[in-house]
Amino acid sequence: MSTLPIREWASLDEDARDLLLSRPQPRDRAARRAEVVRLIDQVRIDGDHTLRLLTRRFDGVELQRLTVTDAEFDEAVAAIPDDLAAAIREAIGRVRQFHAETAPKPQVVQTAPGVRCERVYRGLDTVGLYVPAGSAPLPSTAIMLGVPAALAGVGRVVLCSPPNKAGRVDPTVLFVARELGIHLVCKLGGVQAIAAMAYGTESVPKCAKIFGPGNSYVTEAKMVVAADLEGAAIDMPAGPSEVLVVADRGANPAFVAADLLSQAEHGPDSQVMLLSPCPDLLKAVCVEVDKQVATLSRSDVATQALQNSRAVLVDSLAEAVALSNRYAPEHLILAVRDPQALMPLVRHAGSVFLGDYAPESVGDYCSGTNHVLPTAGMARAYSGVSVLSFQTAITVQQLTREGLAAIGPCAIRLAEAEGLQAHANAVRVRMEAL
């Protein structure tokens, strides 16, 4: 039996369809949340002392200093091979280009003669970037968060990443930080890193907003601090990585299998989905998945993720996209002959990859778009990280005497309808003075 089971959508009742499109459910959610709240409270009370204790407990390393020194930065930069440094700089360049050109621009609208309305953007004062390094360090995440933060005009950037057994942050993460002008990097991971950035400690400044993916505990911590008025805002709720592929008869089974496995190797709780109206294509992809998964260094992780995954036979490509919208994937790959024809049907997805030669991996690293994306169906309401994520939008209005004369009566009448006399008077006293 294939590691990727095939199901026929038309044969399922509604309950079975809901189950088919459901994500893996986390175990002991209540217990995990209670543990997260307890750890956060400890950090709030004891600051750096608790951070050191939790780093020893969870990362197995004793730290005297929680922040990266200039010497450590220098050593990390010197250790990066030239070809890797070039690849990082190349990726930064494309990510910077895309985010700069798609950043919001100030707008001015005259809504009536003498009434000028504007929308302007300001970078956040202090933001926290979380860069995971559990099973594998993710310097690409440092790129995806650091580039738009710089373009947004953020006042101060704090980057937290777990230390290795030597008490060091991964050198590639530090190389990216230096390339992007991020000077404050903390050797912190997990719940304690999120708590430190949300509430501040002796070594970690309090942040207005926290960005970045993480495991289930990190995600839970972000949601806890976001619900606290004294905590910090977050980029989005997030969960395990996922991809949904819509494929037609002409899709290359090896390509599709490789795309599915590229997400399955993230973690055992990741999920991959394949939708196609072509039964032969589904079978061919399943054969390729079994063949390729055996060659992966993380084959055990990918195999566990495949237990949460599905291949689904649908009636048409249009039905496949409709199911994708219902699922709202983090990544959507349209491995079809005319992907642009399907794009108008796509309503809910974090990021979309069109055709046979746009693997999801390029979005993770160097196409230019951002890989910090909504998961767990959150693409129905959330967008991926962008420059705007690191900014607030402020509206501005300026009225001349003529402008107030033109729209003042409207404001007075509406204020009176709401029974707010002082609102009406604030306009009326000015109009009487015209």
CA separation for the pair 44, 199 (Å, rounded): 7
Residues 58 and 193 in one domain: yes
Residues 311 and 356 in one domain: yes
Dihedral of the alpha carbons of 295, 301, 302, 303, in degrees to the nearest 10: 90
Residue 1 lies in a domain: no
Which sign, positive or negative, has the C-alpha torsion 188, 192, 197, 202? negative
- Is 110 labelled a binding residue? no
Domain final position from 328, 350, 368: 368
Contact 348, 379 (CB under 8 A): yes
Contact 346, 352 (CB under 8 A): yes
Contact 356, 120 (CB under 8 A): no
CA separation for the pair 119, 107 (Å, rounded): 5
Residue 410 burial by Cβ neighbours in a 10 Å radius (0-12, 13-18, 19+): exposed
Residues 179 and 272 in one domain: no
pLDDT of residue 357: 97
- Residues 378-395 as b/e (b if ≥16 CB within 10 A, e otherwise) read bbeebbbbbbbbbbeeee
Residues 256 and 188 in one domain: no
Residue 130 lies in a domain: yes
Which sign, positive or negative, has the C-alpha torsion 383, 385, 387, 388? positive
Which sign, positive or negative, has the C-alpha torsion 200, 205, 209, 214? negative
CA separation for the pair 94, 34 (Å, rounded): 42
Residues 229 and 266 in one domain: no
Neighbour tally for 31: CB within 10 Å: 9
Q: Please give the chain's pLDDT, 434 residues, in tens.
A: 567 889 999 999 999 999 999 998 777 888 999 999 999 999 999 999 999 999 999 999 999 999 999 999 999 999 999 999 999 999 999 999 999 999 999 999 999 999 999 999 999 999 999 999 876 778 999 999 999 999 999 999 999 999 999 999 999 999 999 999 999 999 999 999 999 999 999 999 999 999 999 888 999 999 999 999 999 999 998 888 999 999 999 999 999 999 999 999 988 889 999 999 999 999 999 999 999 999 999 999 999 989 989 999 999 999 999 999 999 999 999 999 999 999 999 999 999 999 999 999 999 999 999 999 999 999 999 999 999 999 999 999 999 999 999 999 999 999 999 999 999 999 999 999 98
CA separation for the pair 9, 310 (Å, rounded): 11
> How many folded domains does the chain comprise?
3
| Dihedral pair phi/psi, residue 408, rounded to 5° | -55, -50
> What domain range is 102 assigned to?
29-234
Residue 374 lies in a domain: no
pLDDT of residue 1: 55
Residue 76 lies in a domain: yes
Q: Give DSSP secondary structure letters for 149-207.
A: HHHHT-SEEEEEE---TTS---HHHHHHHHHTT--EEEE--HHHHHHHHHH--SSS---
Element holding 16 (H helix, E strand):
helix 14-20
Contact 311, 282 (CB under 8 A): yes
CA–chain centroid gap for 239, Å, is 9
Q: Which residues contact 141 (CB under 8 A, 6 or more apart)?
A: 131, 132, 212, 213, 371, 372
Q: Which residues contact 34 (CB under 8 A, 6 or more apart)?
A: none
Residue 345 lies in a domain: yes
Domain final position from 197, 216, 234: 234
Residue 54 burial by Cβ neighbours in a 10 Å radius (0-12, 13-18, 19+): buried
- Is 13 labelled a binding residue? no
pLDDT in tens, 301-341: 999 989 989 999 999 999 999 999 999 999 999 999 999 99
- Is 263 labelled a binding residue? yes
Residue 100 lies in a domain: yes
Residues 65 and 44 in one domain: yes
- Is 364 labelled a binding residue? yes
- Is 217 labelled a binding residue? no
Mean pLDDT, the chain, rounded, equals 96
Residues 43 and 143 in one domain: yes
Enzyme catalytic residues: 330-331
Neighbour tally for 42: CB within 10 Å: 18
Task: Say what the pTM is.
Answer: 0.95
Residue 263 lies in a domain: yes
pLDDT of residue 382: 96
| CATH number of the domain residue 336 falls in | 3.40.50.1980
pLDDT of residue 3: 79
Contact 39, 192 (CB under 8 A): yes
Coil, helix or strand at residue 267: coil
Residues 58 and 108 in one domain: yes
Residue 373 lies in a domain: no
Domain final position from 234, 249, 282: 234
Element holding 209 (H helix, E strand):
strand 209-211
- Is 398 labelled a binding residue? no
pLDDT of residue 408: 98
- Is 215 labelled a binding residue? yes
Residues 265 and 122 in one domain: no
pLDDT of residue 267: 87
Closest CA to 345 of 246, 251, 257: 246
Residues 202 and 282 in one domain: no
pLDDT of residue 151: 98
Q: Which residues contact 379 (CB under 8 A, 6 or more apart)?
A: 328, 329, 330, 348, 349, 350, 373
Residues 47 and 180 in one domain: yes
Residues 101 and 41 in one domain: yes
